[in-house]
Structure 1
């Protein structure tokens, strides 16, 4: 299946998201601004006092005056140190709280994504956004943002001080930064796209490595090693190409910073010397202006050092915030289905780049009906199950529940309406109880025990700590059959209107599978059950049987009707029993 990357938020959306985060903790943000401003102001006093010392000495002042001014320099330097540390503490706390909100919002959005979106995006993109990108945003909020804020205020105040000494010296300082300004604009025009491309390449590589590791046995069995190696080399080459691009951008930006440290100071000394000769400025004022601009080196270094991090983090934030574009927008409530009747009308479906897998399928599933869908491999049974569960949307035709297209249902409402259970299953780290409460958070222990009993999970009652037994490396390691029974128990607890079972008991041995299917049938009585199966005893027990072949619905009726008809289903039934036509 061709992957489709999750959306990336545009700049206006990222700015709005940042504004929402600031408003959520505006008190800390305001305190951070105020403390940084006070720290920057305290840092300006030292050079001014040093200029005063020079002028006082030239005027013949005594040691007492110099000592007082020197003591004042020490006091203001200490005040700057304390205010800066306090500002950083407030900034770090603001960053951690904001990062927690971003993480929580990411998890909520990820869980609210439509199933088809998650399927098409692949695990690499979503995982990279939830780990690498969120971590990059956290670094920016915790470290980069406070540092940049302090540096920006210091630079602003420094230029203000130089302009206060003499406007001409201030203009000299600005003129000296013209080259840096040009380099920064050049960098910013290219940086966002470059970092987004780097993030996408990293996500693609992560997804490729994950799928290769998960399917290692399949790769070896079918001799796909060289093909996967070639794909990995191509993905690594793309990562390298995008990384080299961002490194090139930095190689242009940072040398311009080195020049900007010296040019403004030289310009002020030259112009200041001329003004000193004309008597328009004192020596102390020229020295103070030069010291101010020399002091500008530290905030400029900080700004440029973190500018690259902020661009990278900005691209990461755009990827994290991009999940909002894949979730139904609030204020546009999804329609509510009127009943549980499922209608499949004229459905065509093809996976990207392939031919139609389903061709004009029409099917009605009545509420409370048990429908078995059978047919040879490649008939389109699994694809139909995905459409019936709302994981995919048809390219033509419609799949509705209660008159509402499944694709239009809110994901939470869809999960209550239809649940798809496949051969794939997952055991989460935690106890047996934790794994079951995912489906019904308010369920009592007796309900959990009843759900396990309903699917024949007798082994759960024999565990040393019962429902509190940890599952995973530190506790009980369930085998494939037990993991599948846990998944089925979650279905029982979720209590949906419709259950789609796509070979849901395939991991169980035939005897256990038969027992589990009968137990499930008893528990789900009154619910709509659509079973995609190869074992025809499932069809024998169903209310109706639908036979698929080559993406079409060929026959539908009760088991006895289709056997009597003597068509494809009858032949399949006789073949399954080992009979000859």
Structure 2
């Protein structure tokens, strides 16, 4: 099954967002524009003075020293203004970029976990790396360059009109050619760059899968298949990059030819005007220099146009993350208890599908008693972890409900997807085999679950999981003191103790510990979490032996539910599992 690509924002959404982000700092923007405008005006003085100098030489008078000093003064003034203008625009760009990154992080963290799992790592990684990098380059360089070039073009055309309106005709002759090729290029470039980035995401996803599953690839002899997948992804990426390159090979030569034609026509028409007495030599000289001066900013704008197209595609991909519909529908109603904090958790006729039309859970009903310990067992792929995620509120059911409510008869339950995340985590928490230790102190890693926790509470949580690792002030995570997989699990379980929810879902949470250590840790947790409801998903059946009830999950259904001794007496699937495990043990 190929990964599901995350949404991409429309052109209208990109333009609206860019406009809002740019206008968020009106004073800083106005200051940068003013400085660039003054620098552009200073740069327009030299061509006009050179035109007058040519006219004076032609007339037999040439105040070279005075004109040279004046030109030098304006060149220095332009350099100083440009320095401050670049500083102002760069500073503004960094502020805008910082806000954009923060908003993107907020969007990523708000993504439903099920959506992230379906999309795979490649698409999200390419957006957070390649697309953010492309956008950073654009905000730092392309946007200021384009803004500067646009200001220079506007003021240069104004100066050209003041010199002689008829001398603007060469620009009018070439402008349609540049406009037409730009109209041809832009719509094709955006789609081309979006497809190029999509191909890059698929390539990244394939490489990440191959690297992370290298041992599996080697053990199953899948090297050739993975090579073929990689070759196909590279070929697709190469072909899509060739498409955008072909666009540039048409666009840029036409534009370059237009610049040369524009200067040549200006000289030709200016010469005709001068011969016929319609323009002075000073006007022709200044106009030719202004037209020549137009080449550089227009060329910069068109060069940055390609960068803007690439960044526009990247911005569309970043904004598209926010278009993922939420899988939660928070309501104002909370989950009321009966006064002692005890709540029941229940699944009613629950069905769930990772792919449309292919349910992995089929009408599951399960009501947990407050304070009980339920063991969920069954063969691999039966749907245990999926049901556990629904009970923890990670996923919402396709049909049916999973909710919490007071343990009173005929009392409605509040669906988990209707609870705000902060409230949900106070009711139900999930601990899986997958843990992450963040770079920072051990204490930082623990209190992120409960920021107001005291050192005494943190130490008590560590004692509950029988911690024998680094001290609280030790730096752990990437570049810090290394933790074993078992210690990483203990950190995750200690976070759980700090959160102190009324219901816990443990999905193979002690799988990385040896059986004796796992049993000791589970018993320690049971003592600390006495009175809490615990759903333990495990292959080690000693967990089922110690549980109040056992649920056997097969083919997405609960086929047996009861106490350990009851299920053994029933001599069904659980009894067969127990005999197999006990005999093997």
Q: Tell me the TM-score normalized by structure 2.
A: 0.92
* Counterparts of 1:410 and 1:240, CA distance in 2: 45
Residue number in structure 2 paired with 1:439: 449
Q: Which residue does 1:46 correspond to in 2?
A: 46
* Change over 3 Å in CA distance of 1:109–1:527 after alignment to 2: farther
- 1:15 Cα deviation from its structure 2 partner: 2.4
SS at match of 1:468: coil
Alignment of 1:180-259 (within 5 A): 180-259=178-257
1:369-380 to 2 correspondences below 5 Å:
369-380=372-383
Residue of structure 1 equivalent to 2:335? 338
For 1:140 and 1:412, how far apart are their aligned partners in 2? 37
Which residues of 2 match residues 439-518 of structure 1 at below 5 A? 439-457=449-467, 459-460=468-469, 463=470, 466-472=471-477, 474-518=479-523
1:542 matched to 2:552? The reply is no
Instruction: Please state if 1:386 is matched with 2:389.
Output: yes
Kindly indicate whether residue 429 of structure 2 is the aligned counterpart of residue 422 of structure 1: no
User: Mean alpha-carbon deviation: is it higher for 185-194 or for 423-432?
Assistant: 423-432
Q: Distance in 2 between matches of 1:38 and 1:148?
A: 16
User: 3-state DSSP class of the match of 1:505?
Assistant: coil
* Residue 290 (structure 1) aligned with residue 300 (structure 2): no
| 1:293 CA drift (Å) | 0.5
Check conservation: 1:257, 1:300, Cα contact below 8 A.
Answer: no
The CA deviation at 1:146 is 0.9
Verify the 8 A CA contact 2:112 2:327 in the aligned structure 1.
no
**1:125-183: per-residue Cα shift (whole Å, max 9, x none)?**
22222222112111111111111111111112222222222222213212213222111
* CA positional deviation for 1:475: 4.1
> Which residue in 2 is equivalent to 1:89?
87
Give the direction of change, closer, same or farther, for the CA distance of 1:159–1:525 in structure 2 (3 Å limit).
Answer: same
Going from structure 1 to structure 2, the CA distance change for 1:82 and 1:265 (only over 3 Å counts) comes to same
- Give structure 2 stretches of 5+ with no counterpart: 337-342, 406-412
Deviations, residues 20-62 of structure 1 (Å, cap 9, x unaligned): 322333222111111111111111111111112222333443x
Root-mean-square deviation over aligned CA pairs: 2.4
2:567 counterpart of 1:562: yes
Deviation at 1:297, TM superposition (A): 1.4
8 Å CA contact 1:265–1:293 kept in 2: the answer is yes
The 1:342–1:427 alpha-carbon spacing in structure 2 relative to 1, beyond 3 Å, is: same
Correspondence list, 1:266-305, <5 A: 266-305=264-303
Aligned to 1:365: 368
Residue 299 of structure 1: SS of its match in structure 2? helix
Report the CA distance between 1:342 and its aligned residue: 2.9
For 1:409 and 1:263, locate their aligned partners in 2 and report how far apart those are by CA, in whole Å: 67
Alpha-carbon offset, residue 409 of structure 1: 4.5
TM-score, with normalisation over the residues of structure 1? 0.92
| Structure 1 residue matching 2:559: 3-state secondary structure | strand
How many positions carry a matched residue from both structures? Answer: 571
Deviations 1:467-504 (A, max 9, x none): 12222564432222111111111222233343211111
Unaligned runs of 5+ in 1: none
CA distance in 2, matches of 1:521, 1:329: 32
Distance 1:416 1:219, change over 3 A: farther
Tell me the residue number matched to 2:339. none
Q: Give the direction of change, closer, same or farther, for the CA distance of 1:380–1:327 in structure 2 (3 Å limit).
A: closer
2:148 to 147, 150, 153: 150
Contact kept? 2:439, 2:479, Cα under 8 Å: no
Query: What SS class does the counterpart of residue 364 from structure 2 fall into?
Result: strand
